[in-house]
Amino acid sequence: MKLVLHIGTEKTGTTLLQDWLYANKTALSAQGVLLSAVMGQTNNRKIVSYFQTSFDDFTRRNNIHSQAEKAAYFEGFEAEVRAEIKAGAAEHHTMVITSEHFHSRLCNRKEIQALAAFLKEQFSEVKVLCYLREQESMRESLYSTGLKVSEGRPLELFHADAGAQSYYYNFLQIATRWSEAFGQENMDLRIYDRARFCEQDIRKDFLAALPETVDQAKLSFERSSANESLSLLQGRMLQVINRNIPFEEHKSRREPGQWVFQRAGRAV
């Protein structure tokens, strides 16, 4: 069985892709494409965290604060993944693993190389698929997402320290580290631009990256957007809210920002 490893980057339609893939999980399976049930759904972030050496929001959310707690949390996980791949290979030609957190969380060579060594043992071929978005546009989209949570700074101060040395935005460095681990011939780097997508649809562009053809007519394409950016007015309203109401306080009342948009006649 072959693997398509979709590593993001962040803010390149990953939520839409992941939701769409899992909404079509049964239909894709019938055509030989396997999605994981043990790595996290719809974002396969659990396997990212398994190979990640640092702690972050995922580990905090799962009460992991030490290597011992991490080992306990992931006890049996690798065996589960191996078993899922082995069983899936009997009826599937391709597996898709997808998480934008491969981009943002697996940043050093040792982490990426450890992941590569593990996956190369499981699959006959591994292709790394990565969409790259112009950095300024990426930053603006990140800011929009931040406003929905707790961001209160103006845009000009958001990631103001990001520069050529920032790994998150340094696509050459990202491509180099992943190609070192998986081989340059196994890298599929694509520009995140609707005009460049197959039929101007990132989902169909994603299907085109699979090693074998999938009959699109047997899949549902009902949902066409996810995690949309805010309008200027919405952004300004959330900026003011986040400055004046602590995140945990308005989160406990309702999803961040939901109440203000409902008052404005638009729920999100």
Per-residue exposure over 154-182, b if at least 16 CB sit within 10 Å of its own CB, e if not? ebeebbeeeeeeeebbbbeebbebbbebb
Final residue of a structural domain among 206, 224, 242: 224
Helix (H) or strand (E) holding 98: strand 94-98
Distance (Å, whole) CA 171 – CA 149:
26
Q: How many CA atoms lie within 13 A of 235 on its CB side?
A: 15
CATH number for the domain including 92?
3.40.50.300
Say whether both 262 and 208 belong to one domain. no
How large a percentage of the chain has pLDDT more than 90? Answer: 71
Cβ neighbours around 109 below 10 Å, total = 13
Mean pLDDT of 78-100: 98
Say whether both 127 and 58 belong to one domain. yes
Say whether both 42 and 139 belong to one domain. yes
pLDDT, tens digit (0-9, with 9 covering 90-100), for 132-154? 999 888 888 877 766 566 656 77
pLDDT, tens digit (0-9, with 9 covering 90-100), for 168-213? 999 999 999 999 999 999 999 999 999 999 999 999 999 999 999 9
Tell me the pTM. 0.82
Say whether both 115 and 41 belong to one domain. yes
Say whether both 123 and 239 belong to one domain. no
Say whether both 165 and 52 belong to one domain. yes
Say whether both 213 and 265 belong to one domain. no
Say whether both 90 and 39 belong to one domain. yes
Say whether both 267 and 167 belong to one domain. no
Domains identified in the chain, total number: 2
Structure confidence at residue 230 as a pLDDT band (50, 70, 90): very low
Residues found in the chain: 268
Mean pLDDT of 122-138: 95
Mean pLDDT of 214-240: 66
Distance (Å, whole) CA 80 – CA 91:
18
pLDDT for 83 equals 98
Say whether both 134 and 205 belong to one domain. yes
pLDDT for 162 equals 66
Domain ranges, residue 92: 2-224
Say whether both 14 and 101 belong to one domain. yes
